[in-house]
Chain A
C-alpha cells in the first residue's frame, strides 16, 4: 500500500482545472479564498485512494449529508466537470516512485428500461411499460505503474448508472484500496465516525487521547461506553467533578479532538485529510492541539493535508520551531484564475511564510 503522495496533478475534478502540485510534504496546509477548491482537492485524494466505482459513488455524497440530497445519481453526475465531456482525470506519483492515473468519464443519455428490469430496481412497484430514464454510460479506470517491476497494471470498469441502480453500486466490496485515507469534514466531529471505538480499543492510545482532551477540560479522566435502557451503547466521558456524562453534553472541541485522534489512528501509515482544521477549536488551544496532531502523525507515519481559513491558525503553526526548522510543512495557496482557466497554486515552505509574515504581514491565504 502506498503511504505518501509526492506529486499530484488534477486535470479535472469538480472546480479544479489543471492543478499541479509538485512539492508535497509530510504536512500540507491548504489555504485559499472561499471556493478556491480546497475541499475538492481533499476529495481528490480520497477518490483516488480507492479507484473503483463503489468509492466514487460514496464520495459524491460527502458534501450533502446535511442538505436534502438528490439521489446518488444526481450527486454523481455533479461530480463530473460540466464544461465538457472530458470527465475526471487525476494522476499522482507516490514517494515510492509508483504512479497512478485515474479516469472517470462518460455521458448522460436517455434510455428506455424494460418493466422487468425496473421492478428489479424498485421491488415494491409493479411497472407495466417501458420507462424513459436518464442513465450515465461511461468508464472508470486506472493505470498503476510499479517502479520496481516496471510494469503497468490497468483496470477498467464499465458504468451504466441511473437513479435506480446507483445504490446497488454503493457496496464497500472490492479491495482495491491503494492507500489508507481518513477524511474529517468540518462538520464531522458532531458524529465522530468510529473514532470513539478505535480509540477505546487501544489502551495506550486512549491514555494519550485522554491526556490531550485535558486541553479542553482538565477534569476529564476517562472515555467509555455506557448502556442505555435499550442496551444500546452510548459514548460517554468520565469527569472527576461531574461523574459520567454522555459525550453529547460536551462541546464541539472535545468531539473534534476525538474525531481527529480517531482519524489519525485509522490513517496510520496512510493519509489524513482534515477540512477546516481550526473549526471548533479556540485560538488559545491551537498550539496544543496541533502539537498532538503533529507528533501523532509523525509517530504513526501519517501524511497530513489540512485546510484552514484562519490566519491565526497559520501563525500558530509557524510558531512550532521544530516543524519550521525541519521543513516538514508546506503552505499551498490555491486560486481559481478565470483568465487562465485553471486552478493556480503557490507552494511556500514554512520558513518563507514565517519570514514574509514577519517582514510585510504577508497574506498567505490569497
Chain B
C-alpha cells in the first residue's frame, strides 16, 4: 500500500482534491439554492410541506439511477455530478432550514411584531439567529451525505475518490480499493469531527445562559 502511494501518490492527491472540489462547490450551490427556496416557501406552511415532500421523493431515488437519468440531458462529467448532488442536498437542507425557522416561539415573534419590527427585521435578527443551530445540523448532514454520494459520481467521469475505488474494482486491485475506501471514509470522518467541533462552538456561543453544562459562566 505504501509502495502504491509513493509511486502513484499524485493520483491519490489528484482524486482527493477533485473530491473536495466537487463537495465544496456542491455545498456552496446547495446552500444558496436551499436558502432561496426556503425564503420563497416559508410564508406558507402548505408550500413548505409540499416542497419538502417533493425533495424527499427525489432524495429517495438511488444516486446511480439519477446520474444515469441525467447523462442524456447534461452529459458526463463534474457538472452533472454537482447538479445531482445539489438536488439531493435540497431535502436535507430545506427540511432543516424550515424546521429551524419554525422552531422559534410564536410568542417571541408576536412580541417582536407588536414592537414594530418589520417581517424582514424579525427574520434577520430573531428567527435566523435562533434557527441557526438547527440549520447547521442540516448542513452537517448534507456535507457527510455529499462526500459519500460523490464517490459514486466517478461512474459518470466526474473524478474524485470514486475513480480510485472503481479502478480498483475493475482491475481487482486490493491496494487501490483499500486506498479509495480509506480516503473516502477518512474524509467523511474528518469532516464529521470538524463539523461536530463547529457545532459545539456554536451551541456554546448560543447557550444564552440556559445550558446546564456551563453553570459557572451562566451565573457569573
The answer on A and B forming one complex is no
Measured CB to CB, the residues of B under 8 A from A are none
Measured CB to CB, the residues of A under 8 A from B are none
